[in-house]
Every structure is written in C-alpha cells, then in structure tokens.
C-alpha cells in the first residue's frame, strides 16, 4: 500500500503546482479508488490539515515532503477507515523512496506527533474561523454567509466536505445509490447501457426540458452526456454539441456504451446546428461548480471573482447562440451546477433584457443542505 500513498503524494504535489483536474491524473488499476480517496480528502481538507500540521513544524516544507505530510495527515484526521498505525507506516514507507533521507525521518516524526497531540490540535482548530475549520476560501464562505445565513453557510460547508456518493440514473427516471467501493463497470447492466452515472440534482434541468417523443432538441454543452442520454431516452431527436475535443470523445464513448450513437447527432459547435430548427434547447453551461464541490473538491480552490466574471460572459454568449437555434415559441432551458446568483438568476434576467420577446416560464434551485443532493439551478424560457 506504500505505492498507493506514493502515487497520491505525487498527484497532490502536481495539483499544488498546476491546479489541473486531479481526476485526469489518477492511475488505472486496482489502487485507483483508494488513491482517489487519498487525493480528494487531502484537497478537500487542505486548510484544516495545513493549520494542524503547521503547529508541528518550525518551517513549512515544500515539494515531496509537503505532499507526503498532507497525505499522511489526511488519513489520520479525515479517513477513520485507515488505522493510525497503517497511515503512518505506509506513508513513511512511501517517503523512503525519496533520495533525501530526511524526508522519511521528518514524515515519521510529524505524523506520530500529530497522533499524540490530536485532541489538543483539534481544540485549537475549533477556535479558528469557519473558512479554516471547514477548509474553504474565505471569500466563498463570506458569499455563502451573505446568501444563505450563518446556519445555511455552515451546513453547506459540512455537506461539501462529505465524500460524494455515486448515483446511477435509469431510463424510467429513477436513481440508485451505488455502495462505496463498488465499481460502476461491475454493476449489472453496465455493458448493455442500462444506466448512466448521474446525480439526482441534474433532474431539475431534465424535468424543465420535458422532452417528448419526436421533438428536436439541441443539447448545447453536452459532455459527458448525462442529460443528452436522459433526453434521448424520452424519445427526442437530440443534437449534442461539445466544443472540447477530449470531452467530445468522452461523450461519444458514453453514447456507444448506451447504444445511442446512431440516435444522437454529435456536433462540435452550436452554429453547426441550423438556425430556428430546434423545438427546445438545453444550455447546461460551464460554471464555477459551487453546487458540486463534493465531487469537485479542487473547484473550491479555483474559485475567484475574476473567473466568475469570465464565466458569466461565456454563459451569456452560449445562451444567445443556442437561442438562435430554437424556433419561435420554442423553449430554452438554462442550467448550471452553481449556487452563485450571478451565474443563475442574474444571468436569466440579463438574457430576458437582451431578448424582450422571451418569457420566463419556471425556475428552480436545488440547495444541497435542503435537498440532500448536488446543488443545481435551472430556468425554462419561452422564446
């Protein structure tokens, strides 16, 4: 198991440097699930782990030692299924692969001290602000506090710090939670395309589209294809658009497994779809992902006002382009997995001002601390 710690430490170190998607760095093979748990736990609790480790260090380390300490502390403090002795011994064994002999000695001493002083350090942590205790950027915590109140903000942070469940969605509209540790590919019906992996929070947008047999529907931001599949299962003629080549290949792979490759048209760009031809369009827009931080623990650390402003502009452009593809009197459904008003209600209001003939039919928002599923927003607009 030392090798899995070594892999996790390498991925975490690379993430610290690049802020790339950690999911794209995970290894294939039997250790993948455990490595993912280690990496995601360390990322999710980065602030609180750093605070507690800093009490035990005279100088904060960098590189290999820093990453190994995070991985070791994550197991001790946030992964109760891993015994303390196993967390220390396996992480130290991973550290022994370092050419620097001080790395395993320091890792061993700090992690053992962490176990001895855990109660004291947890008391110190409890006196820190919520952003440190719950491990979120302070600016994001302040936004949520203003939007949802002190209790709602705390409940959101608590929800997002739980490991994400895996849900399977079926053609009849039902969802099933997959037991932790069970592989999706081993679930009965996987090879036959009997289900897709999708959180129940996505049901809001699909419900507002209300796809009917024979309708022409443009899915403007389709990858990885969960909502595309839901629309096709309901008998609609779906054109799935995805501008990113890598994500488009992922979409096509999912359609093949689900036996839908010949029933869904895949496009690279929205203008490739004829203007005014769609009965409906779904814009599941790129967003800040603040409703799905259980699944994207790295997204909390990538959040910024500058990125939010950039996303708002992109969302508006996609909405306007998708609207051109919908016939007069048709329906445009806009959705995000964000909790931020600028990306949701404000975006819809701005679209309605740009398109005076459009009319808001319905809007829904899923707040995780109330719904118990991923956060989501969706609005149906008649054009």
Inter-residue long-range contacts of 117-126, CB under 8 Å, 24+ positions, other chains counted: 117/55, 117/56, 118/76, 118/77, 121/52, 121/55, 121/56, 122/52, 124/51, 124/52, 124/55, 125/48, 125/51, 125/52
Q: Helix %, strand %, coil % for the chain, to 5? A: 50, 15, 35
Helix (H, G, I), strand (E, B) or coil at 279: strand
Between the alpha carbon of residue 84 and those of residues 38, 54, 75, 261, 340, the distances in Å are 14, 19, 8, 48, 39
Catalytic one among 221, 287, 325, 337?
337
Between the alpha carbon of residue 224 and those of residues 174, 235, 247, the distances in Å are 19, 19, 6
Which ranges in the chain belong to alpha helices (H)?
2-18, 32-44, 46-54, 63-78, 84-95, 102-116, 118-126, 130-134, 138-160, 203-209, 226-233, 245-257, 299-302, 305-323, 345-354, 368-371
325 is catalytic: no
Helix (H, G, I), strand (E, B) or coil at 284: strand
Active site residues: 337
């Amino acid at each position: 198991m030392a090798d899995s710690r070594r892999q996790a430490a390498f991925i975490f170190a690379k993430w610290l440097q690049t802020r790339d998607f950690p999911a794209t760095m995970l290894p294939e093979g039997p250790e993948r699930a455990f490595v993912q748990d280690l990496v995601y736990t360390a990322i999710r609790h980065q602030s609180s782990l750093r605070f507690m480790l800093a009490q035990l260090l005279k100088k904060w380390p960098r590189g290999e030692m820093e990453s190994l300490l995070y991985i070791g502390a994550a197991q001790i403090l946030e992964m109760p299924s891993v015994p303390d002795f196993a967390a220390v011994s396996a992480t130290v064994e991973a550290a022994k692969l370092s050419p620097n002999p001080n790395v395993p000695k320091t890792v061993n001493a700090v992690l053992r001290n962490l176990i001895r002083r855990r109660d004291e350090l947890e008391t110190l942590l409890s006196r820190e602000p919520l952003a440190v205790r719950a491990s979120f950027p302070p600016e994001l915590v302040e936004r949520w506090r203003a939007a949802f109140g002190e209790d709602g903000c705390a409940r959101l942070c608590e929800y997002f710090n739980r490991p994400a469940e895996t849900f399977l969605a079926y053609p009849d509209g039902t969802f099933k939670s997959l037991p932790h540790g069970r592989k999706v590919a081993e679930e009965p019906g996987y090879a036959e395309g009997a289900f897709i992996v999708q959180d129940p929070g996505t049901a809001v947008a699909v419900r507002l589209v209300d796809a009917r047999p024979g309708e022409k529907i443009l899915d403007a931001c389709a990858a990885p294809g969960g909502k595309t599949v839901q629309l096709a299962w309901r008998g609609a003629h779906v054109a799935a658009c995805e501008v990113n080549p890598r994500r488009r290949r992922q979409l096509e792979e999912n359609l093949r497994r689900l036996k839908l490759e010949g029933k869904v048209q895949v496009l690279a760009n929205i203008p490739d779809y004829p203007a005014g031809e769609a009965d409906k369009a779904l814009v599941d827009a790129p967003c800040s992902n603040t409703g799905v931080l259980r699944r994207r623990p790295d997204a909390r650390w990538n959040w910024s006002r500058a990125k939010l402003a950039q996303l708002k502009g992109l969302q508006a452009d996609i909405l306007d382009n998708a609207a051109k593809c919908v016939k007069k009197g048709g329906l445009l459904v806009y959705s995000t997995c964000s909790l931020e008003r600028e990306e949701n209600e404000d975006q819809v209001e701005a679209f309605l001002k740009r398109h005076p003939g459009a009319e808001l039919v319905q809007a829904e928002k899923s707040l995780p601390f109330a719904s118990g599923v991923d956060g989501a927003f969706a609005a149906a607009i008649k054009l």
